[in-house]
Structure 1
Amino acid sequence: MRRIRLSRRSHVTRFRPLDGETVEHESALERDFVLLTRFLDPSAAITSQPIEFESEGRSRRYTPDFRVVSSPGSELVEIKYRADLRAQWSRLRPAFEAAS
């Protein structure tokens, strides 16, 4: 897991379901995502920070929060508050495009 800077939203910990593997998360929002995903699909495999991308034309790296593998397929997931996503869109867009 990459190093997390302290902030008012930092909450680095692990979630261990009764019948599954431990899933690390960095914020309460990410914890809620893991809980809801486990509730909706208990057989889903959730991996925290599964892969690292380099944004095209930049030296910045991007690491999605989770990879979720379930019966419909797999997807990379980034967890953000809507206000943060809107405020940081111009900075985040190249990373999202690299991941897609």
Structure 2
Amino acid sequence: MRRRIIKPNTRSFTGRHVLPDGSGDVRFESGLERDFLTLLGARDDVLEILEQPVTLTLAGPDGKPRRYTPDFKVTYRDRVVIYEVKYRDQFRKRWPNDRDKYCQARAWAQANGMRFRIVTELTIRTVRFENARFLAAYRDVTPDPALAGTILAALAGGPRTVLDLVRTLCPDRADRVGFYTAFWPMLANRTLRADPRAPIGMDLVVEAAP
């Protein structure tokens, strides 16, 4: 069983997703795979992501062997998951032919102490993804230390909404631009913490990370 390396090509949408910790990059073969990697990049429990991690030799419907390479292997703090990333219409169209393949892949993953999951845009392109995509632009921005200290001091008493913070710290509307230049990077880099499933907006509740 060997890992297949993805090479750029003209037949599909390929590219490289830079890992948030700067440890390298992961290649993708579709816009949906790119979005999946963006979603993973916003999680703090992901330890490693490998693309095309293994090629399995499975039994085909006619009894002859066939090869199958899942899209990603993701190591979380508490589990390892093998992922197949598919657009829902493609998945449904190919399900009669691919069902046995995925069942065998799931059995192989379980036998090797891992899980197997098929994910589509319904589970990828969620509020959590939209949040991750928005904050990705601020991940490499260093907030002004004085502004960051002011925001943390305002949160010393506990969680507050973004609107509450803005009204407290920026009574003058002209100061709000500066506030956000520090606030979004702090949220992107987890100096601040919020529910990743809650839409980013003025009603978002945030707190200082422990």
Query: Comparing 23-32 with 13-22, which one deviates more in the overlay?
Result: 13-22
Unmatched tracts of structure 1, length 5 or more: none
Aligned to 2:65: 59
Which aligned segments of 4 or more residues in structure 1 are displaced greater than 6 angstroms? none
Matched, 1:83 2:89: yes
Unmatched tracts of structure 2, length 5 or more: 107-210
Among all aligned residue pairs of Structure 1 and Structure 2, give the percentage whose two residues are the same amino acid. 34
- Aligned-partner Cα distance in 1 for 2:84–2:92: 14
1:44 maps to a residue whose letter is: L
Counterparts of 1:1-100 in structure 2, within 5 Å, are: 1=5, 6=11, 10-19=12-21, 20-41=23-44, 43-56=46-59, 57-100=63-106
Query: What's the secondary structure of 1:45's corresponding residue?
Result: strand
Which structure carries more helix by proportion? 2
C-alpha offsets along residues 38-68 of structure 1, whole Å, 9 cap, x if unaligned? 1123643110000111222333211000000
- Aligned-partner Cα distance in 2 for 1:12–1:42: 26
Bigger relative contact order, structure 1 or 2, given CA contacts below 8 A and separation 6+? Answer: 1
Tell me the TM-score normalized by structure 2: 0.42
Query: What's the secondary structure of 1:30's corresponding residue?
Result: helix
Structure number with greater Rg is 2
Query: What's the secondary structure of 2:102's corresponding residue?
Result: helix
